Chain A
Amino acid sequence: MILVRAIAVAALLASPLRAGEIPQEARRSGTTFMGPDTRAMQDDDTANPGMLFVLDGEALWNKKAGSADKACADCHGDARDSMKGVAARYPVFDKTLNRPVTIEQRINLERTQHQQATAFPYESRDLLALTAFVANQSRGVAITAGDDPEAKPFVEQGRALFMQREGQLNLACANCHDENFDKHLAGSPVTQAQPTGYPEYRLEWQTLGSLERRLRSCMAGVRAQAYDYGAPELVALELYLMSRARGMKIETPAVRP
C-alpha cells in the first residue's frame, strides 16, 4: 500500500508541465473562486477595506513632498485621466534603467528624481496606498502588460521562474496554478494566480499587500528562500503573471480571503 502511494506521488511529481498556458476564454479571476460574502465585500466600495487605502492614496497624490515641494498632481493633474489604464500596462520596460519596473518602483523613482524626496519602503502603508490609488484608476481596463518587444526577454525570464521547481517541496508555481487550479489546498481553492487586483486586501493579512508579498508567501509555502522585495526575479515573475493575465480586467483593490 505504502509502495503504491509512493509510486503515485512519484508519478505526480514527475508529470511533465502542461505545454501552453491557460487559454484566454478559460482565464478566471480569483474573484470567481470566492464565496458570495467576500465577493459582496469587494463589490461594495463602502464595504471594501481596500478603498480606505485608495482614499489615503488620493490624499498623498495631492500632497506636496520632498525638497522640490511638488505633489504628484502638480505634474500629472487629475489621476482619473492621467492614470487611467496605467496599471494595465505595468510592469513596463524602462529604457534608462534597461529593465522592467513595477508601479511601486515607478512611484519611488518619481519621488527620488522629481520630488527630491526619500523613497517609500516596500510594503509601507504610504507606498501601498499610492499604488492602490493609481491602480484603482484602471479598474475595468483590460491588461496589456508585456506587449513591448523590449520587455519580452524579461517575460521569458519570469515564465522560466514560474515553471521552475524550487524549495524543499520541489514545486513550481505552474504545478498548482496551471495544472491544479480547479482543486483545493487545505480547504482553500488553489486559483489560477491571475494578478488582477493588486495591491489587494487579504483578510488573512488584515491589510493591503503587494503582488511581491503574495509571491514571497507562496515561496515560503513551498519552503523556498524568497527573493527580496524589488529583486529582478520578482519583477520578472510579476511581468510574466501580468502578461499571462492578458485581456483580463483590473479589479484593484481586490478583496481576497
Chain B
Amino acid sequence: MAALINVPPKAKRGDIIEIKTLMSHIMETGFRRTAAGDLVPRDIITSFTCRYNGSEIFRADLFPAISANPYLSFFTIAKDSGKFEFEWIGDNGFSATASASITVE
C-alpha cells in the first residue's frame, strides 16, 4: 500500500518540526450495506505509531468515522539525526510501515 510521508530533511537542534503522513486505505466503516442489504464488513486502520530513533513519540487510535486515506500530522522537537519509523495496523491483518530520515545540526 502506498504511503506519503513529509518530514523535513534538515532541522536545527531544538526546532519544532511538523510531520505529515498520508496512508492509502479504504476505511470501510462497517455500517454500510450493499444493494442486496448485506452489511459490508468493517475494514479500517485501528492504530498508528511513530518512533523517533526507536522511542515512541506519537500514537493514535483510529475509528470508523475517520475518512478514507487517513492524513495525520503532528509536531515534535528535532533532537538528533536519525530515523522516523511509522506503522499502521488495522483490520484483516493490515500492517504497513514507512520510514524517513532527518539530519539535525
Contact = CB atoms under 8 A, between A and B. Distances in A.
Interface string A60-100: 00000000000000000000000000000000000000000
Contacts, number: 37
A47 B71 contact: yes
Contacts of A45: 4
Interface string A40-56: 00001111010111011
Interface string B51-71: 000000000000000011101
Interface of B: 2-6, 20, 22, 24, 26-27, 67-69, 71
The 5 closest A-B pairs by CB, nearest first: A46-B6, A206-B68, A55-B2, A49-B69, A52-B24
Contacts of B24: 52, 56
A207 interface: yes
Contacts of B69: 49, 52, 206
A153 B9 CA distance: 53
A206 B67 contact: yes
Contacts of A52: 2-4, 22, 24, 69
Given A52-B4, A55-B2, A56-B2, A46 B22 contact: yes
A201 to B, nearest CB: 8
B68 A51 contact: no
A205 to B, nearest CB: 9
B5 to A, nearest CB: 7
22 contacts: A44-B6, A45-B4, A46-B4, A46-B6, A46-B22, A47-B4, A47-B6, A47-B20, A47-B22, A47-B71, A49-B68, A49-B69, A49-B71, A51-B4, A52-B22, A53-B2, A55-B4, A56-B2, A56-B24, A203-B67, A206-B67, A207-B26
Contacts of A53: 2
A46 B5 CA distance: 6
A51 B3 CA distance: 9
Nearest to A58: B2
Contacts of B4: 45-47, 51-52, 55
Contacts of B68: 49, 206-207
Contact of B22 (A49, A203, A206, A207): A49
Contacts of B20: 46-47
Given A51-B22, A207-B68, 12 more contacts: A44-B6, A46-B6, A46-B22, A47-B6, A47-B71, A49-B22, A51-B4, A52-B4, A52-B24, A56-B2, A206-B69, A207-B26
